[in-house]
Structure 1
Amino acid sequence: MKNESSEGHEAEEYVGLADFVAEGDEQLSFSVGDELLVHDRSSDVWWWAELHGLFGYVPSSYLHKRVEDVEESWQDDEYFGNYGTLRLHLEMLSDKPRTETYRQVILSNSATLKGKVVMDLGCGTGVISLFCALLAQPAAVYAVEASSMAEHTEKLVRQNGCEEVVTVFQDRAENLTLPGKVDVLVSEWMGNCLLFEYMLESVLLARDRWLREGGMMWPSSACLTVVPCQAFSDYRQKMEFWEKPYGLDFSYLQLLAQKEFLSKPKFSHHLLPEDCLSSPADVITLDMITIQVSDLERLKGEFNFTVEKSGMFHGFTVWFSAHFQSLEEDGPSLELNTGPCSEITHWKQTLFMLDSPVTVEEGDIIVGSIRLQRNPIWRRHLSVTFSWNINSTEVSKVQTKCFPMWR
């Protein structure tokens, strides 16, 4: 829409955090990374903005002021501050499927690890480093931790009698200096939707600098999985509640509830297997030897689901699996799966709800794609965009919904 800027307001520069497609002439389309001039912020939800001489309303949640300070864009003080306390470490160590998988990886490769040099990146309390030292006979273990937890990790290493093997380095991967290259790089870098917080970038930088040619990465690969699902409980709590609470008509608030509760993903969702509308699909696979940092900016996967039982299509649920290749050519590989049919982990699953549920019948086809777009400003965040179509016909319409993922 062509128009003039609002009088009396000085325009401010903002950057698009995700793609937005206008619905109607009064809205303004833009793409991730576009620089917009915001002329009016009188509404909390919609702002009046300009792009390439065109004007229109844009959703405020899709915009942010550009950050010039690289450290601020990584939010390192907050990020490493969280890992400097015991709260997150208690959650991770209490996650038996996660921690036992890493222990089993070390144990099953103990003979081949003898004499090897191992880096444990983002070691936290050092549990994986201690597994290496106590269950195998590595030449050395470099336990790398950027947060203040490293000071306690050093004491835990001594307390467990592993100081001759394990050396703690308190530094970021980007600034790290080690005595030499390593044979194995192990890390627990995975976040919600696999990539959230983008610790993976640090792992890849450490790989490129410190892993010997032919060395091993643990995990060796990782996979993102999607399934269309029902979510009756969540929909009732967040949307249907407003229809007649206490016998009063509060339906006016449903549109506001939709924007507030359904515009973001639900972390730590516990999907029941019976709420899956079809078999899940692996949509994105990362090979930890070949993937590059630049690949993380934008990842896309496609899906084609056949509905296996009639029900209500409320949205998509996402989880990941991590795979650990053996150091021996014919040795067994291990898997950490965070899906609904595996033992529950602290990640659980992530739920992405549609604005309105859709009734689907057995045999219906849901075809589409998922795109993970890294935030151009806040480098630990991303947006997840689903595009889908049910029973593709000439009259059916492709639906798209973008979910910003923030800590």
Structure 2
Amino acid sequence: MFKKVDDSIRMHQEDEDYTNPPEEFIGLSDFTSCGSDQLSFRAGDRLLVHTKTSADWWWAELGGLCGYVPSSYLKQQDVEDSYLKQGVEEDTSKETSEDPWQDEEYFGSYGTLRLQLEMLSDRARTETYRQVILTNSAPLRGKVVMDLGCGTGVISLFCARLAQPKAVYAVEASSIAEHTETLVRQNGCEEVVTVFQGRAEELELPGTVDILISEWMGNCLLFEFMVESVLQARDRWLREGGMMWPSGASLCLVPCQALDYYTERMGFWEQPYGLDFTALQSLAQSEFFSRPRFSHLLQPEDCLATPCDVITLDMLTLHVTDLEKLRGQFTFIVEKAGTFHGFTSWFRVQFQSLERDKTTLELDTGPYSEPTHWKQTLFMLDGPISLLGGETVSGIILLHRNPVWRRHMTVTIQWRISSTEETGNCMVQTKSFPMWR
């Protein structure tokens, strides 16, 4: 249950200066609490923030109740009234200059060779796309292809070299597009491949396309939400009956051990150099485990159960509005006794053949497949839990898109551990992980 205002504020303000009044913020979007220590609110609600306990979670009050709220869902109380009383026009320059898509940062990173090298060097990723084009070379002949987010144009060049399409529209918003044109000429594909520099949302093409191919996936499948640009391009430019590659996608999850990472981040503070530093363990937990760990390499033997798909997407029927909140369920049967440190996620994408009865190719970024540059994403619990074989870990996972910063999201996992004994007892916990760089 929520804590009442008097006790909860006192607990969180024991060491604060009471002369500083709470700050008023406005809810930007509805937020539904996922635990007894969180506070639900709706868009437009006015909340009093008493303590900014971390960059991600603040302690706030609404209607006589207190709880933690995600800071990214709040906007500073508008000071327009006080400005008008002073006859001063409100300064909106900061607000209007903010870019919810953070295009300068996002496209700036993809304009560097460092990131392009990382993607091109990913053999599993790049070879899968090449195989998709090669195995569909016959039905691709004479077709019009859009390669959205083409980067250096490697997929466009595969199409031109291997499939003899009528045309390939290589679309890239970052500055790397200037070099892509050079690479197209150097590889003798300028008669087929045309480079378009710009955002997909502002794109003008000569006509519709038969195939829309893109490598849009991010950490935990959706992070950075390039998929929205893909869906908008689909709705504008893909002809009826056309094909999307990937044609489908799945987010996978498994409960796991992460002893090395846990020991490195938490165990270190027990007795470094013979000194007692355990007082820093709670701070370490907050700093290292409050957000997901990108680029985690999960060893297959650290999986405590058989992984499962928790969210699946059909790229021909998925809508942009579906991206705001995606929910999945899971039930894992623990296969061996071990220490439950957290959950690990990754994704699989499928490439449906253009010909009936032909094999659908797949790119799997999980621990049982060839490593990719995405690796896996680790969500650490606050503390380890011992599990026995046969116990059940069940629950839900929620991907909630940030209402302000549109490339970011929050992943909330609620899980229940049920014992094999008929005691009726179980452990239910919830944890939310903001995802941004």
TM range (shorter): over 0.9
Match of 1:90 in 2: 117
Which residue does 1:155 correspond to in 2? Answer: 182
Q: Measure how far apart 1:395 and its partner are.
A: 3.1
Contact 1:198 1:381 (8 Å CA) reproduced: yes
1:229 aligns with 2:256: yes
Which residue of 2 is the match for residue 338 of structure 1?
365
* SS in structure 1 at match of 2:99: helix
Residue in 2 that maps onto 1:371: 398
1:185 counterpart SS class = strand
* Max Rg structure: 2
Query: Structure 1 44/350 Cα, relative in aligned 2: closer, same or farther at 3 Å?
Result: closer
Identify if the C-alpha distance between structure 1 residues 203 and 243 changes in structure 2 by more than 3 Å, giving closer, same or farther. same
TM-superposed CA distance for 1:77, in Å, is 0.8
- Whole-angstrom CA distance in 2 between matches of 1:282 and 1:42: 36
Which residue identity does 1:161 align to in structure 2? G
2:22·2:49 contact (CA, 8 Å) conserved in 1?
A: yes
The one-letter code of the counterpart of 2:433 is F
1:9 to partner: Cα distance:
3.8
Asked if the contact 1:303–1:367 (Cα under 8 Å) also holds between the matched residues in 2, the reply is yes
Q: 1:292 to 1:102 in 2, by over 3 A?
A: same
SS at match of 1:255: helix
CA contact (8 A) 1:388 1:399 kept: yes
> C-alpha distance in 2, partners of 1:162/1:104?
19
Gaps of 5+ in 2: 77-93
Residue in 2 that maps onto 1:387? 414
Matches within 5 A, 1:353-368: 353-368=380-395
Aligned to 1:37: 47
User: Which residue does the alignment assign to 2:88?
Assistant: none
Tell me the CA shift for residue 334 of structure 1.
0.6
1:21–1:343 distance in 2 versus 1, CA, 3 Å: closer
CA contact (8 A) 1:16 1:36 kept: no
- Equivalent residues in 2 for 1:271-282 (5 A)? 271-282=298-309
CA distance in 2, matches of 1:75, 1:13: 23
**Higher mean C-alpha deviation, range 1-10 or range 377-386:** 1-10
- Asked if the contact 1:28/1:54 (under 8 Å) is kept, the reply is no
Alpha-carbon RMSD across the aligned residues, in angstroms, is 2.4
Answer whether contact 2:39 2:69 (CA < 8 A) is retained: no
Partner of 1:56: 66
Shift of 1:298: 0.6
* Structure 2 counterpart of 1:290, from 300, 303, 317: 317
Q: Aligned letter for 2:432? A: C
Within-5 A mapping of 1:6-405:
8-9=20-21, 11-13=23-25, 15=27, 19-20=32-33, 23=36, 29-31=39-41, 35-41=45-51, 44=54, 47=58, 49-51=60-62, 53-54=63-64, 56=66, 58=68, 64-65=74-75, 69=96, 72-391=99-418, 394-405=424-435
Percent of paired sites with the same residue: 63
Q: 1:282 corresponds to which letter in structure 2?
A: D
- Offset at residue 239 of structure 1 (A): 1.0
TM-score by length of 1: 0.93
Once residues 39 and 369 of structure 1 are traced to their aligned partners in structure 2, the CA distance between those partners, rounded to angstroms, is 29
CA distance in 1 between partners of 2:327 and 2:107 (Å) = 29
In structure 1, what is the Cα distance between the partners aligned to 2:97 and 2:338?
47
Check conservation: 2:346, 2:377, Cα contact below 8 A: yes
- Paired amino acid for 2:113: L
3-state SS in 2 of match to 1:379: coil
Distance 2:59 2:66 in 1: 6
State the AA in 2 paired with 1:49.
A
Q: Quick one: distance in 1 between partners of 2:336 and 2:20?
A: 57
Could you tell me whether the CA contact under 8 Å between 2:251 and 2:346 is conserved in 1? yes
Q: Distance in 2 between matches of 1:33 and 1:252?
A: 39
Letter in 1 for 2:23: A
Unaligned runs of 5+ in 1: none
After superposition, the Cα gap between the structure-2 partners of 1:245 and 1:81, relative to the gap in structure 1 and judged at 3 Å, is same
Structure 1 residue 226: Cα displacement:
0.5
Asked if 1 retains the 8 angstrom alpha-carbon contact of 2:27 and 2:41, the reply is: no
Residues in 1 aligned to 2:58 and 2:294: alpha-carbon distance in whole angstroms: 28
TM-score normalized by the length of structure 2: 0.86
Question: Over residues 36-81 of structure 1, what are the superposed CA-to-partner deviations in whole Å (9 max), with x where a residue is unaligned?
Answer: 5345457557755332x33536367565537965961111111111
Q: Distance in 1 between matches of 2:58 and 2:136?
A: 57
CA separation in 2, counterparts of 1:60 and 1:286? 27
Give me the whole-angstrom Cα distance separating, in 2, the residues matched to 1:173 and 1:71.
Answer: 20
Question: What is the Cα deviation at residue 396 of structure 1?
Answer: 1.8
User: Residues 297 and 397 (structure 1 numbering): CA distance in 2 closer, same or farther, change over 3 Å?
Assistant: same
In structure 2, the residue corresponding to 1:65 is in which secondary structure? strand
Q: 8 Å contact 1:33–1:376 — kept in the other structure?
A: no
Q: How many residues end up aligned between the 2 structures?
A: 403
Q: Would the alpha carbon gap of residues 2 and 41 (structure 1) be closer, same or farther in structure 2, given more than 3 Å must change?
A: closer
Report the secondary structure of 2:221's partner residue. Answer: coil
User: What are the superposed Cα offsets for residues 92-114 of structure 1, whole Å, 9 maximum, x if unpaired?
Assistant: 00000000000000000011100
Taking the aligned partners of 1:133 and 1:362, their CA distance within structure 2 comes to 53
The whole-number CA distance in structure 1 between the counterparts of 2:123 and 2:376 is 16
Q: Please state whether the residue corresponding to 2:426 is helix, strand or coil.
A: coil
